Amino acid sequence: MKPLLTVTLALATLVGLSAQPARRRVTLVVTGGTVITQNAAHTILVPGAIAINGTDIIEVGTPAAIAAKYQAAETIDARDQIVLPGLINTHTHAPMVMYRGLADDLALMDWLQKYIFPAEAKTVSPELVRVGTRLAALEMIESGTTAYVDMYYFEEEIAKATFEAGLRGVLGETIIQFPVADAKTPAEGLARAERFIKEFKDNGLVVPAVAPHALYTNDKASLVASAELARRYGVPMIIHVAETEDEVRLAREQYQMTPIAYLDSIGVLGNTTIGAHGVWVNDADIATLKARGVGIAHNPESNMKLASGAAPVTKYLAAGVKLGLGTDGAASNNDLDMFEAMRQASFLAKHATHDPTAVPAQTSLDMATMGGARVLGMDRLIGSLETGKRADLITVSTRAARQTPMYDPVSHLVYVTRGDDVRTTIVNGKILMRERQLTTLDRAVVIADANRLAARVREAVSR
Ligand SMILES: [Zn+2]
């Protein structure tokens, strides 16, 4: 064996001397930007480069190292840009962009019961959901969101529009006690959810889910049936939890328990549960959420606008609860810009705790990336820029006056960047926006369609 090995080594040396080793062909290289990997060590490469082949990140390294090893079919020059994992919106109702600005400056229960539920009763249709989701997808792609969690009606329309737009989604069909546009009863909703799960369970971008709206809009049977359905198919369950003091009061009156304690007592909480808000929780609730592996979607802007309160972010993080950020529906925010969500998460925590060191910029960015990935149960696939993960990433321009000078890119991402600064959005290795040019959506058509349907919404609510 020994002589043979020597010959092989000698041959390799000869080949190495006579020609450059062949570079591996890959589909895409993003190079030259400040690369914020969001890996466990929080590595930042200045500058860095990312080699992508098909749907996956092949390697992250210096521009020179990546250029030496890979030959790309397409190269994105990211100089003067920050490259980071795509942002993950852990709670929204995508089609509600159609109700943006329809009713503002109200408390949650008034807002829901007097305006949103009646407006939805008159106007929700497959067409409105389709058109609204396309508008939401346009806004998300343009502002750097690459994955999102949704809860709405006609979720199959949302799933189709999300897939066509190229976004990643954990999409939950709503279960609710009163008659809604796509189901007259919770049983009908559950049957619809099951069909939806079967149809989309093998989709590469869409993860179907079941979404009982909240404990105050569902009885025990509906909540338990929703959790059972989710368990049977191994899909997430999405629910609003402990959003307002009113909800806590209701739960205490009806069940003599906090909302979290009640949901736990009926066995619906588990490690694929995504709980939106979690504002009004005590220490025992936080321990329960941690023990059950529930992920929490923190929505600072919606919570502030509806004066719902401030979620105990610092306590959640100290307890090791999976924590992501969300915008909530655009009717209570009023946009889907996750850069604002990061900024407001940081500000709200500081304001609420009277502690300027609470939720620093890095923590907000963590929640919007790896934290969100954990909430979705996808932390092995997305949330950071690392070899073997799906290529979900964005580039952000740093040329604006308000971003000059730049001492700390993470500070800039959280405290000055706006969605409009995003230049390129890539999901699953596919470019959805290149230098602000959309590739999967026709911007003019999406906006014209939304305005056409908005005329119907205006008409319906004025009657
Ligand atoms: Zn919500």
Model confidence pLDDT, tens digit, residues 386-406? 999 999 999 999 999 999 999
CA of 295 to the centre of ligand 1 (A): 15
pLDDT at 103: 86
Per the CB < 8 A criterion, the answer to whether 227 and 270 are in contact is: yes
CA of 94 to the centre of ligand 1 (A): 10
Q: How far is CA 271 from each of CA 95, 204, 234, rounded to the nearest angstrom?
A: 27, 22, 11
Give the helix, strand, coil percentages of the chain, each rounded to 5: 45, 25, 30
pLDDT at 463: 66
pTM of the model as a whole: 0.94
Tokens 């401030």 sit at which residue? 310
pLDDT at 20: 66
Token representation of residue 245: 């003091």
Read off φ and ψ for residue 24, nearest 5 degrees: -75, 135
CA of 301 to the centre of ligand 1 (A): 12
CA of 240 to the centre of ligand 1 (A): 6
CA of 124 to the centre of ligand 1 (A): 16
Per-residue pLDDT, averaged over 11-27, amounts to 68
DSSP readout, 298-328?
E-HHHHHHTT-----HHHHHHHT-EEEE---
CA of 77 to the centre of ligand 1 (A): 38
SS3 266: coil
How far is the C-alpha of 180 from the C-alpha of 66, rounded, in Å?
A: 53
80: Cα within 13 Å, side-chain hemisphere: 11
CA of 329 to the centre of ligand 1 (A): 6
Q: What is the pLDDT of residues 61-115, one digit of tens each?
A: 999 999 999 999 999 999 999 999 999 999 999 999 999 998 898 888 888 888 8
pLDDT band at 10 (very low <50, low <70, confident <90, very high): very low
CA of 286 to the centre of ligand 1 (A): 20
pLDDT at 231: 98
Per the CB < 8 A criterion, the answer to whether 37 and 47 are in contact is: no
Q: What is the mean pLDDT of the chain?
A: 94
CA of 111 to the centre of ligand 1 (A): 12
CA of 98 to the centre of ligand 1 (A): 15
pLDDT at 19: 57
Beta strands 56-61 and 70-77, pairing class: unpaired
Per the CB < 8 A criterion, the answer to whether 145 and 89 are in contact is: yes
Beta strands 87-92 and 44-53, pairing class: unpaired
Enumerate residues 6+ apart whose C-beta is below 8 A from 433: 141, 142, 422, 423, 424, 425, 439
Q: What is the pLDDT of residues 328-342, one digit of tens each?
A: 999 889 999 999 999
CA of 390 to the centre of ligand 1 (A): 27
Enumerate residues 6+ apart whose C-beta is below 8 A from 429: 27, 28, 52, 53, 54, 55, 56, 390, 391
How far is the C-alpha of 141 from the C-alpha of 118, rounded, in Å?
A: 30
Per the CB < 8 A criterion, the answer to whether 198 and 218 are in contact is: no
Least confident of 11-25, 156-170, 173-187, 309-323: 11-25
CA of 339 to the centre of ligand 1 (A): 18
Inform me whether the pLDDT recorded for 255 exceeds 70: yes
pLDDT band at 227 (very low <50, low <70, confident <90, very high): very high
CA of 275 to the centre of ligand 1 (A): 10
Burial pattern 57-92, b for ≥16 Cβ within 10 A else e, equals bbbbbebeebbebbebeebbebeebbbbbbbbbbbb
pLDDT band at 119 (very low <50, low <70, confident <90, very high): confident
pLDDT at 5: 43
CA of 65 to the centre of ligand 1 (A): 45
How far is the C-alpha of 318 from the C-alpha of 283, rounded, in Å?
A: 11
CA of 433 to the centre of ligand 1 (A): 27
Q: By percentage, how much of the chain surpasses pLDDT 70?
A: 95
DSSP readout, 67-125?
HHHEEEEEEEE-TTEEEEEPEEEEEE-GGGGGGTTSS-S--HHHIIIIIIHHHHHHH--
CA of 294 to the centre of ligand 1 (A): 17
CA of 359 to the centre of ligand 1 (A): 23
Q: What is the pLDDT of residues 259-268, one digit of tens each?
A: 999 999 999 9
CA of 313 to the centre of ligand 1 (A): 18
Per-residue pLDDT, averaged over 139-159, amounts to 98
Q: By percentage, how much of the chain surpasses pLDDT 90?
A: 89
